[in-house]
Amino acid sequence: MEGGYSPGRFGRALGWATALYLVLPLFIILPVSMTDQRFLSLPHEGLSLRHYAALFASGEWFASIAQSFWIACASTILAVSAGTLFAIAAWRINRRATELLRALMLLPLIVPSIVYAIGLYRYFGWWDLLDRFAGVVIAHGVTGIPYVVITVSTALASFDVRLEQAARGMGASLRQVLAWVILPRIMPGIVSGAIFAFIHSWDELVIVLFIASRDVFTLPRRIWDGINENQDPIMAAVAMLLIVFTTLLLVVDLAVRRRRDG
């Protein structure tokens, strides 16, 4: 902020302390994951990559990573297609009724997952979707819709309606307007939404705890068991990989947004 006004010493110190509090625990995982010991601790003699090697050699972990990845991909596709169409239509219609529908779309962000999870636990029993790939994809896809609706709506809010009018005034059909004018302009919003929907599914645990047990055993589920049961440093290696993966996705997102704004 310009204008020659800066925070005082106390404010600045508390700000820095908070930032360290947010970030340091995440950094601590890196040395722990490279410990040369058999249990969770800082490295004693030297750094070692053997826990990473163990992680990649382990069929169990690998299977869970693959399963989480495919579930996240499938549910992202579901959330992005339904959410994008919804956001564009609601933006175009723009009446009071669509405002209500938009509020409905945001429910999954507001209602705690535990409530949804116990509801699904019984509901999916009837549909025979418990412990099924499809069941988890549906649950994650539906709860991922709000992220897409929000990012795409935000992109549309800064979309100049006159661009659409200009295109139609020059003779473009609805389909041409969508494909050549609207979609290219809001693509960064769609990509952001997809990234958030993906991370949401990739990290989701509460729902999975209730609607999956043996056949579907996602990565968060395996970490959960790991935290509760043992002190194996392989956990730190997994955590480190997750941090790197999420950070990469966020960097992609930032790059996409910068291109949109620039």
Interface mask toward another protein for 119-158; x: CB under 8 A: xxxxx--------------xx-xxx-x-x-xxx-xx----
Interface mask toward another protein for 234-253; x: CB under 8 A: -xx--x--xx--xx-xx---
Question: In the 8-state DSSP scheme, what is residue 180?
Answer: I
Cβ 245 to another protein, closest distance in Å?
9
Cβ 120 to another protein, closest distance in Å?
5
Residue 148 corresponds to which amino acid? V
Q: Decide whether 53 or 173 has the Cβ nearer to another protein.
A: 173
Q: Distances in Å between the alpha carbon of 178 and those of 164, 165, 175, 206, 252?
A: 9, 12, 5, 38, 25
28, 178 Cβ separation under 8 angstroms: no
Q: Residue 191, interface with another protein (CB under 8 A)?
A: no
Q: Decide whether 117 or 215 has the Cβ nearer to another protein.
A: 117
The binder of another protein chosen from 50, 131, 172, 232 (CB under 8 A): 172
Cβ 59 to another protein, closest distance in Å?
21
The binder of another protein chosen from 49, 53, 184, 215 (CB under 8 A): 184
Q: Helices 113-127 & 133-157, crossing angle to 10 degrees?
A: 130
82, 145 Cβ separation under 8 angstroms: yes
> Which span sits near another protein by CB under 8 A: 46-54, 55-63, 69-77, 174-182?
174-182
Q: Decide whether 3 or 46 has the Cβ nearer to another protein.
A: 3
The binder of another protein chosen from 75, 136, 190, 210 (CB under 8 A): 210
Q: Residue 49, interface with another protein (CB under 8 A)?
A: no
The 3-state DSSP class for residue 232 equals coil
Q: Distances in Å between the alpha carbon of 185 and those of 55, 149, 160, 161, 181?
A: 42, 16, 10, 12, 6
**CA angle centred on 210, ends 138 and 232, rounded to 5°:** 110
